[in-house]
Amino acid sequence: MTSSSYSFSFDEKQIKKLKDIIIQKGFELSPLDHGLFRAKTKGTVIQAYKTGKILVQGKEALEFAQNVIEPEILGKVSIGYEEVLHPEYFEAHAGIDECGKGDLFGPLVVAAVFVDKQSARLFIDEGIKDSKRFNSTNRIFELASLIKKKTDYALFSLSPWRYNDLYEKKFRNLNLLLAWAHASAFQKLLHIRPDCPKVLCDRFAKPWVLEQSFKKMGIHHELEQMTKAESDPAVAAASLLARATFLEELSKLSKEVGFSLPKGASAKTAELAKEIFLKNGKQTLRKVAKMHFKTIQKILIESQS
């Protein structure tokens, strides 16, 4: 029997359950550099990392994964069956996803990622999934770096200033702007991968909205829109790339304006937007925030009263 390697992404509860199980099974536990623990028994070595990544290796790794991890921790069968259950994951295609549309501060970033059978398999094995399922920023950056090394991709980023300009002067509608940005990202990818036959993205509006943007750009590839498209490895990879890029650019903006710009659109972000406006004025606020958000409009109205 040859040595095998399997990778999983666990949350804190799943890691604790795994540790309890391997202690019961008599695994030898030891510290792991930059990780949580290393567990070893005859034929199987398990390494648990702070990012939530779990690596199972050895001659009996498959047996442990199928007999312990799947039924006792994951509660589902997945290893070796993805190509049977979801053959579409392994067909050559692109996935598109965005980050930043719901964040008051920072850019709108759209990523388009190409996968084929080999890269799809790698991404699934490495635990690549929707960026919202990761609590660790380091893990997001780690996986984004892997994606960039292993496949072709394109990034289309709109700074808040450019975003505001386009929203106010051209689109006046978030879904129309999003559709244009998605089509622009895929168009960039086609310059690198003109052989890409089809594209998948999350459904964020009525299908005709994105279809129309593609046609206006002269893109006539097969386009599929579906809810929860992040289950597909190409879209999941795009989600991670878009998130990593958004975080990088948000950090740069924070340094430029001298304020630590938070993610999201909470009361905290509204308070900071008001502070930036009062201290530095509307033009500085336009450089870091999406001006059509209701919280921004409220700040501007209040300043006139």
CA distance 166 to 291: 11
Instruction: Kindly list the domain boundaries of the chain, sorted by start residue.
Output: 4-79, 89-251, 258-304
11 is an annotated ligand-binding site residue? no
Residue 23 pLDDT > 90, yes or no? Answer: yes
97 is an annotated ligand-binding site residue? yes
How far does Cα 44 stand from its chain's mean position? 31
Q: Which residues are within 8 A (CB) of 173 and not within 5 positions of it... i.e. 6 or more apart?
A: none
pLDDT in tens, 152-197: 999 999 999 999 999 999 999 999 999 999 999 999 999 999 999 9
Q: How many residues does the chain have?
A: 305
pLDDT in tens, 72-127: 998 876 665 566 567 889 999 999 999 999 999 999 999 999 999 999 989 988 88
Domain 89-251, CATH class in plain words: alpha beta
- Superfamily of domain 4-79 in CATH is TATA-Binding Protein (3.30.310.10)
Q: Which residues are within 8 A (CB) of 185 and not within 5 positions of it... i.e. 6 or more apart?
A: 96, 110, 111, 112, 154, 155, 156
195 is an annotated ligand-binding site residue? no
pLDDT in tens, 38-82: 999 989 999 998 888 888 888 888 889 888 998 899 887 666 556
Query: Do 89-251 and 4-79 have the same topology in CATH?
Result: no
* Structural tokens at position 24: 């019961």
> Would you place residue 1 in the very low, low, confident or very high pLDDT band (cuts 50, 70, 90)?
very low
